[in-house]
Structure 1
Amino acid sequence: MTPNPAPPAAIRPRAALPIRLAIWAAERFPPTTAAVVLVAYAAVMLLGRAATHPGALPASATDLATALGALAFYLMVRVFDEHKDFVRDRIAHPDRAVQRGVVSLADLRVVAGVAVAVQVLACLWADHGVGPVGAWWASTMAWIALVAKDFFLGERIAGHSVRQPVASMPVSALACLWMAQTGAGGEPLPWAVAGGLAALGLLVSAVFDLARKLVPEPGGAGRSYAAALGPRRACLVLGAVLLAESAVIAAVQRLVVPGRVAPALVLLAAAPALLTLLWAARPRLAGRATLAALLGQLGVVVAALVGTRGMG
């Protein structure tokens, strides 16, 4: 990991560490991100439970523990990104908390350590020891370790605007299976459902990454798909990926809860996907509409599962 030099005396922080970490979290892991993570976790966990438990969906304190584990996982990933992108962000984002010296990378390593401990405890709780939940989590962590080393391919992946995020996307597929397994408990996920959830994790990750990085941040800093692909082509790719993600989530939904709710998921995504053609000149609007559609889809999944199966 990249060492974090001490900040200049003029900006060296004097506030207590919890306050400085809160400043960093508000910037890099705001409540809106936490809310999206929790809704995504609830949708995937309930899909895993519905696929392996007939009748009403059982609920327990374990669900709260694994939800905290999911939050801790994405917090850990954010810390990982801070280390991996530190040198580049000193140029592209000099106003961020880490680059200004508000918090150091050493401070964030402590946060990551606590986050990993929370994940391990959540897996042990869900498995009542060592079991399939922990196995999926370990697989996810192994892929993150490969990403940290750029798959030992060096500059052929590191810093590349398309290859690097594409190589990272399987993390979301594995994390999706991990979260689904927390819902399934000790029961194995059906192969069709597991394959659909893995595809869903990949596509949700792609939609989220495309929507967030479709255009440069204010001031023109940072990487963007519009710069790499051109605004029109980037919007077309975003619309196509959103429709593909909609089809997969509808298919998985039909596997676990037969009914008419699945077509609604595709319709929920159709408007922003098609409007990306009209918004090619203003891709920031397309990105925001797509994120709203994604969150709406996940909410529909949760509502459909609870509404049709009930909670026991």
Structure 2
Amino acid sequence: MTTLTVTAPRAPARLGRFVLDRFRPRIYVTYGLLWVLALEGSAVSAAGTAWRPSAATGIRVISVVLALLFLRMLDEQKDLAHDRVHHPDRPLVTGAVTAAELRGAMAVVAAVVTGLNAALSTAAVLLVLAALGYALLLVPLERWCPAVRDRPLLGLAVTYPVQLLLGGYVYGSLVAAGTVTAGPGGALLLVLCAGVFLHFEFARKTAWEAAPGAGLYSAALGPRRAAAVTVGFAAGAVVCEILLFAPRGLLALLPCAPAVLAVHGARRFLAAGRGGWPMLPAAVFVAGTHLALTALAVLR
């Protein structure tokens, strides 16, 4: 009881430091914001309706950002054994934050997200909680099947659906609200967003050399094949953009322009023959594509 009394008042400050260290709001919040604006705006404009951000948009943005924070807190606990060996400076390893504090914060996040989406629809609540619930299921799954944790490609195949479910939440909540009608265009839009995200995901884990415990995709595929897959995801996103927006004219091809950065990143990586994939072009590709999609929705 004494320990609880002493540590409880300090928990918000400790969690705040954890967020700044491991969540990096300028990255995660920016990504969540741009992703939701691009997905919602594209879904609405593709349906032939003028789009402007609304209060419901704000709820979706906050919900996705909080869900990303929930996932970050969960990953920190799942990776504890690995971090003790390879990342001894992480907050949970050093005791800067405790697992109990992270679990308490996750419960608060889930409650806030539920309350926010109750203002939209029951379907929105169920969809966002489905994403969080799937993430929680990964904890026992990785315990029962170590290969999910130890084999990067298998781990990606199993964990990526969390992102897909979050995209489905944004789109599904629009359908539930009657803003858009469900159709093949929605599936294509989710595939587009997947290509954008997976380009960056593969880029950050592709390198010519693999340090112990790095869990690189290039360690399993080889650097050149990993580079081809990385560019392939960007190319897949461009194909989706053309299928969705080309009928609107040349301006609608604006979201394809950032793909030049994916090609530039690949050329630099292959020409260097050492080191990792240049992350700046990959990050700007993600931000640029989402910004272009949002601009296209506003300009319709």
Q: TM-score when scaled to structure 1?
A: 0.82
Task: Give the aligned length.
Answer: 291
| One of 15, 29, 33 as aligned partner of 1:34 | 29
Would you say 1:292 and 2:260 are equivalent positions?
Answer: no
Aligned to 1:210: 202
State the alpha-carbon separation in 2 of the partners of residues 60 and 20 from structure 1: 34
State the alpha-carbon separation in 2 of the partners of residues 147 and 201 from structure 1: 22
Aligned to 1:268: 258
198-207 or 96-105, which deviates more: 198-207
58-67 or 148-157, which deviates more: 148-157
State the alpha-carbon separation in 1 of the partners of residues 199 and 265 from structure 2: 15
Identity of aligned residues (%): 21
Kindly provide the CA deviation profile for residues 135-174 of structure 1, in whole angstroms up to 9, marking residues without a partner as x: 4324323432442332786123232121001211122222
Correspondences of 1:104-119 after superposition (within 5 Å): 104-119=98-113
Would you say 1:17 and 2:6 are equivalent positions?
Answer: no
| One of 246, 249, 273 as aligned partner of 1:259 | 249
Matched to 2:216, the amino acid is S
State the alpha-carbon separation in 1 of the partners of residues 258 and 41 from structure 2: 20
195-204 or 160-169, which deviates more: 195-204
Matched to 1:204, the amino acid is V
Matched to 2:283, the amino acid is L
Aligned to 2:227: 235
189-198 or 291-300, which deviates more: 189-198
Correspondences of 1:173-212 after superposition (within 5 Å): 173-187=164-178, 189-212=181-204
Unaligned runs of 5+ in 2: none
CA 105–307 in structure 1, closer or farther in 2 if over 3 Å, else same = same
CA contact (8 A) 1:207 1:241 kept: yes
Three-state SS of the structure 2 residue aligned to 1:95 is: coil
CA contact (8 A) 1:276 1:283 kept: no
Q: Offset at 1:55? A: 3.8
Three-state SS of the structure 1 residue aligned to 2:51 is: coil
CA 95–218 in structure 1, closer or farther in 2 if over 3 Å, else same = farther
Aligned to 1:83: 77
Matched to 1:270, the amino acid is V
State the alpha-carbon separation in 2 of the partners of residues 162 and 248 from structure 1: 23
Three-state SS of the structure 2 residue aligned to 1:158 is: helix
Higher share of residues assigned helix: 2
Would you say 1:165 and 2:160 are equivalent positions?
Answer: no
Three-state SS of the structure 2 residue aligned to 1:211 is: helix
* Runs of 4+ with deviation above 6 angstroms: 216-220
Correspondences of 1:60-75 after superposition (within 5 Å): 60-75=54-69
> RMSD of the alignment, in Å?
3.0
State the alpha-carbon separation in 2 of the partners of residues 216 and 94 from structure 1: 25
CA 286–143 in structure 1, closer or farther in 2 if over 3 Å, else same = same
Q: Offset at 1:107? A: 0.8
Would you say 1:48 and 2:43 are equivalent positions?
Answer: yes
Kindly provide the CA deviation profile for residues 190-215 of structure 1, in whole angstroms up to 9, marking residues without a partner as x: 32122113323432332232122224
Matched to 1:91, the amino acid is V
Aligned to 1:10: none
Q: Offset at 1:297? A: 0.5
Three-state SS of the structure 1 residue aligned to 2:89 is: coil
Three-state SS of the structure 2 residue aligned to 1:99 is: helix
Aligned to 2:128: 137
CA 168–122 in structure 1, closer or farther in 2 if over 3 Å, else same = same
Matched to 1:16, the amino acid is R
Q: Offset at 1:224? A: 1.8
Matched to 1:88, the amino acid is H
State the alpha-carbon separation in 2 of the partners of residues 126 and 254 from structure 1: 32
State the alpha-carbon separation in 2 of the partners of residues 90 and 204 from structure 1: 32
Matched to 1:68, the amino acid is I
CA 216–182 in structure 1, closer or farther in 2 if over 3 Å, else same = farther
Matched to 1:288, the amino acid is L
Aligned to 2:94: 100
